Amino acid sequence: MCSQIRERESMATNSRGRTASIFKFGDFTYDSGSRLLTRSGARLHLSPKAHQLLYLMLVSRPRALSRQDLYDKLWPATFVCETNLAGVVNEIRRVLGDDARAAQFIRTVHGFGYAFDGEVDCADYVPVARATLICGETSYRLYQGENSIGRSPDTDVMLPDSTISRHHAVIIIDDDENAFLIQDLDSTNGTYVDGQEIGRSPVLVARRAQIEFGAVKVSVELERISTTKHMKLKRHVREHLTSV
């Protein structure tokens, strides 16, 4: 069940030099590396598909994306009904407080698709791995912010086991070197920390705790390295965006 070593494959980059971006629009800031959306500093929740769609529209702006292009990117090789895309768009609009009839950010291009409107400032940085998820002899890099776990190819850590849901759980890495947060995403077979089942509310987990996603046992090793340089870099990027 943990037979391959996989690097994190998503819009956030790996350690080989691909960059992530911080976008600032209105009162919102979106960090594609940590997949963190905030409004005036307060963290906002988005589902994995909503994160992916928001990022696609931000990097494609001001170009409109067709519905077919979005289906191909969000649900490759999978048939889904048309309401799936509309549901993800509505989720983003709801979190941003946007109105489809007088769109400030997400504009519907009738008969075609969607586009991101509004002024956006953007700056790039290189993310740094903050932890490692260990599953048997396989390791997966985890980055600051949200790291999605599941059986679906669009998760950050894909564990292809039948007892794991497509979108099973989220591990949230913060600045604490001794603990992290984990939450279940209403998975079928549950998420357990040291034998105790957890729910949708994030639970603080100490390093070396035994975690189970369905029947798959994993552990998380937090990096004991100085992140001062990395934090200064991200602070510099945010200050640059603020001054633009």
Read off the pLDDT of residues 115-140 as tens digits, 9 standing for 90 and up: 999 899 998 887 778 899 999 889 99
Read off the pLDDT of residues 197-234 as tens digits, 9 standing for 90 and up: 999 888 999 878 999 999 999 999 998 755 454 555 45
Q: Which residues contact 159 (CB under 8 A, 6 or more apart)?
A: 1, 2, 135, 149, 150, 151, 168, 213, 216
Read off the pLDDT of residues 27-76 as tens digits, 9 standing for 90 and up: 999 998 888 899 988 989 888 889 999 999 999 999 999 999 998 888 87
Residue with tokens 């039948």: 162
72 φ/ψ angles, rounded to the nearest 5 degrees: -65, -35
Cα–Cα nearest to 123, from 42, 13, 233: 233
Cα–Cα nearest to 52, from 40, 77, 28, 70: 70
Q: Which residues pair with 158 in a beta bridge?
A: 150
- Strands of the 179-184 sheet, one edge to the other: 157-158, 145-150, 169-173, 179-184, 203-206
